[in-house]
Amino acid sequence: MDSRTFLKKLDRIPDIPTLPTVVFKVNKMLQDYDTSIKDLSKAIEKDQAIVSKILRLVNSAFYGFRSRINTIAHAVTILGFNTVRNAVVSVSIIDAFSSKDSAKGFDITDFWKHSLAVAVTSRYLADRTRLVTPDEAFVAGILHDVGKVVLAQYFKELFGQVWVATREQGLSFYEAEKKLLPVNHAQIGGHLAKKWQLPASLFEAISYHHAVMKSATHLNLLMVVHVADIIVNNYKSDSESEPDFSGIYPEAAKVMAPQLKSVSDWFPDVVTEIESACEFFLE
Rounded to the nearest whole angstrom, what is the least distance from the CB of residue 183 to Fe ion in the complex?
Answer: 13
Task: Output the CA torsion 130→271→88→211 (10° steps).
Answer: 60
For Fe ion, which is the closer residue by CB, 131 or 143?
Answer: 143
Judged by CB, which is closer to Fe ion: 19, or 227? Answer: 227
Number of residues that bind Fe ion (CB under 5 A): 2
Give me the least distance between CB of 152 and Fe ion, in Å please: 13
Which is closer to Fe ion, CB of 136 or CB of 229?
229
Give the helix ranges, DSSP H, for the chain: 3-12, 21-31, 37-45, 48-58, 72-79, 81-96, 108-129, 134-143, 146-154, 156-169, 173-180, 185-195, 200-207, 219-234, 250-255, 257-261, 263-281
- The smaller minimum CB distance to Fe ion, of residues 47 and 145, is found at 145
Which residue, 131, 134, 93, is CA-closest to 115?
93
Which residues are CB-contacts of 59 (< 8 A; sequence separation ≥ 6)?
A: 65, 68, 69
Least Cβ distance, residue 31 to Fe ion (angstroms): 28
- Residue 204 binding Fe ion, by CB under 5 A: no
Q: Which of residues 133-152 bind Fe ion (CB under 5 A)?
A: 145
Smallest distance from Fe ion to CB 185, Å? 6
DSSP-derived letter for residue 74 is H
User: Which residues lie below 8 Å from residue 225, measured CB to CB, with a gap of 6+?
Assistant: 118, 122, 137, 140, 141, 144, 205, 209
Nearer to Fe ion, 136 or 145 (CB): 145
Residues 206-245 binding Fe ion (CB under 5 A) are 229
Based on the shown chain and the rule CB under 5 A, indicate whether residue 177 belongs to the binding site for Fe ion.
no
In the region spanning residues 47 to 106, those forming contacts with Fe ion, defined by CB under 5 A, are none
Residues at the interface with Fe ion (CB under 5 A): 145, 229
